[in-house]
Amino acid sequence: MTVQLGDAFSGANHAWPLSQPGIYMATLLLLNKPFGVLSQFEDKEGRRTLKTFISRPNFYPAGRLDQDSEGLLLLTDEGSLQHRIAHPSQKLSKTYWAQVEGLVSEEALDALRKGLMLNDGPTRPASAKQIPEPPVWARVPPIRFRKNDVTSWIELSIKEGRNRQVRRMTAAVGFPTLRLIRAAIGPWTIGTLQPGESREEQVHLPASSPKPATRPNRKSPRRRK
């Protein structure tokens, strides 16, 4: 799949066709980050990192995903693309599937939609709905819950990126998250990728972006889910 920049980012008032002078291609890697893996390539404590799954040089994450969360993580070797994906000013929507304790209520979903107060301030209105259990892989290790416990799934889309925001939002409405999977970032989806698998896509960047030689920041943003 090839994505034009204007298709991917809110606030862009047009897309840049390949025939326009100055357009160049940037490479994006879509990774299904497994549970228990850090969103970085090195760790002094010996924990699992992206190095196990991504061997291509000079690719770094555009944003983060917590060690105990799973799903879509984007990596690129182009600094301007990394900035456009990760920076909160771009308001790029991120969609999550959250398995929560209990049978989620319409009142809780409505509170998520309207926005709620967390300890670091109010959240923006989100898209929230209950969904059937998605056809996803078994988590290793599995979540911990008793045999007779009831759980349900929420699809939640936000345009923010605070520390562990989705988990804090569901807990604030009375339904703590047991399992969290990021399913999409903007137009990019996890598709059929299994844990540890990745695929390559191309993005058209305009001439106004930094030159292709620009490398992404090795230090990923601290925004986590």
Active site residue 120: no
- Contact of 182 with 94, CB cutoff 8 Å: yes
Catalytic residue (one of 66, 68, 77, 110)? 66
Show Cβ contacts of residue 57 under 8 Å, excluding neighbours closer than 6 positions: none
The residues carrying an active-site annotation are 66
